[in-house]
Structure 1
Amino acid sequence: MKVAFLVATEGVEQIELTEPWQAVKDAGWTPELVSTSSGEIQALNHLDKADTFPVDKTVSDASADDYAGLVLPGGVANPDFLRLDRKAVAFAKSFFDAGKPVAAICHGPWTLVEAGVVRGRTLTSWPSLKTDIENAGGTWVDEQLKVCSAGPNKLITSRKPDDLKAFGEAITDEFGKAG
Structure 2
Amino acid sequence: MATELQGKTIAFLVAPEGVEQVELTEPWNAVERAGGRPVLVSTEMGRVQAFDHLDKADTFDADAVAGGTDPADFDALVLPGGVANPDHLRTQPEAVAFVRGFFDHGKPVAAICHAPWTLIEADVVRGRTLTSWPSLRTDLRNAGAIWVDEEVQVCRARHNTLVTSRKPDDLKAFCQAIVEAFRA
> TM-score w.r.t. structure 2 length?
0.96
Partner of 2:12: 5
Partner of 2:37: 30
Aligned residue runs from structure 1 range 100-179, under 5 A: 100-177=107-184
Separation (CA, whole Å) in 2 of partners of 1:151 and 1:63: 21
| Residue 18 of structure 1 pairs with residue 31 of structure 2 | no
Runs (5+) with no aligned partner, structure 2: 1-7
Partner of 2:5: none
Runs of 4+ in structure 1 deviating by more than 6 angstroms, as ranges, are none
Separation (CA, whole Å) in 1 of partners of 2:90 and 2:115: 10
Q: Deviations over 1:134-159 (max 9, x none)?
A: 00000000000000011210000000
Partner of 2:59: 52
Give the SS at the match of 1:84.
Answer: coil
Percentage of pairs with the same residue? 64
Separation (CA, whole Å) in 2 of partners of 1:99 and 1:81: 25
Q: Deviations over 1:73-96 (max 9, x none)?
A: 000000000000000000000000
Root-mean-square deviation (CA, aligned residues, Å) is 0.4
| Residue 88 of structure 1 pairs with residue 86 of structure 2 | no
- Number of residue equivalences: 177
Separation (CA, whole Å) in 1 of partners of 2:173 and 2:167: 11
Q: Deviations over 1:91-143 (max 9, x none)?
A: 00000000000000000100000000000000000000000000000000000
Q: Deviations over 1:30-85 (max 9, x none)?
A: 00000000011000000000000000000122111110000000000000000000
Q: CA offset at residue 176 of structure 1?
A: 0.3
Separation (CA, whole Å) in 1 of partners of 2:146 and 2:179: 24
> TM-score w.r.t. structure 1 length?
0.98
